[in-house]
Structure formats: structure tokens, C-alpha cells
């Protein structure tokens, strides 16, 4: 199938250097759901479902397995050898890290004054 779209000039300028990867970018964008197999996503969901208190939220750290997997993905990214699925997993990890940073910032506001 061939699709023609009009996009703003600034976005076109950003896409031009990635023209050969456009199909992979679209596939990744369409896949922007939380992975059912990501260990980190499962850890975060399980942790938050327990209704942690602010102090517990601030103390939360991903498992060694999740940290190791993130390191592997970052190394493959530096080498330019990520598959589209791995890129999606790396994007998900970054999104979860950002989300948890925001959650921790808000949790700090709910700690009792020392």
C-alpha cells in the first residue's frame, strides 16, 4: 500500500535524515503500548498495584535483571544493532524511567516534614 501525507516543514526536516528508517519509525509508533513481556514494566505495575506509600516509592529500584537488560539494550543502541522490537523495549524503558521520576518527585511532596 502506498500512502501520501502532508506534514509540517519542521517535522519533514527531522524525518529527512531518517528517511531509510521511516517504516521502522512508523512500526514503532504503532506499537507504543506497554510490553507484556518487559520485566521492568511488570515490576512497575506489580509495585504500584500494591499501593505503596511515598517512602516506599522513593526507595523503589528496578531489579538487577531489569538494570542488566537496560544496559544490554543501551550497548546495542550504541553499536547501532537494535532490532525494531529492542528499540521499542528501550523506548519503553526510557518512558518508564521518566514516569517514575515524576512519581518520585510527587511522592517527595507527601513525605512528613522532618
**pLDDT number for residue 72:** 96
Say what the pLDDT of residue 68 is. Answer: 96
What residue ranges of the chain have pLDDT lower than 50? none
Query: Tell me, what's the pLDDT at 32?
Result: 55
| pTM attached to this predicted model | 0.67
Contacts of residue 110, Cβ cutoff 8 Å, sequence gap at least 6:
54
- CA angle (68, 102, 30) in 5-degree steps: 70
Amino acid at each position: 500500500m502506498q500512502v501520501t501525507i502532508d506534514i509540517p516543514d519542521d517535522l519533514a526536516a527531522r524525518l529527512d535524515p531518517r528517511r531509510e528508517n521511516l517504516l521502522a519509525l512508523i512500526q514503532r509508533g504503532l506499537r507504543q503500548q506497554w510490553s507484556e513481556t518487559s520485566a521492568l514494566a511488570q515490576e512497575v505495575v506489580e509495585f504500584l498495584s500494591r499501593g505503596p506509600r511515598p517512602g516506599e516509592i522513593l526507595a523503589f529500584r528496578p531489579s538487577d535483571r531489569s538494570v542488566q537488560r537496560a544496559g544490554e539494550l543501551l550497548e546495542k543502541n550504541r553499536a547501532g544493532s537494535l532490532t525494531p522490537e529492542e528499540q521499542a523495549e528501550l523506548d519503553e524503558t526510557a518512558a518508564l524511567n521518566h514516569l517514575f521520576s515524576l512519581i518520585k518527585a510527587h511522592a517527595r511532596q507527601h513525605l512528613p516534614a522532618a
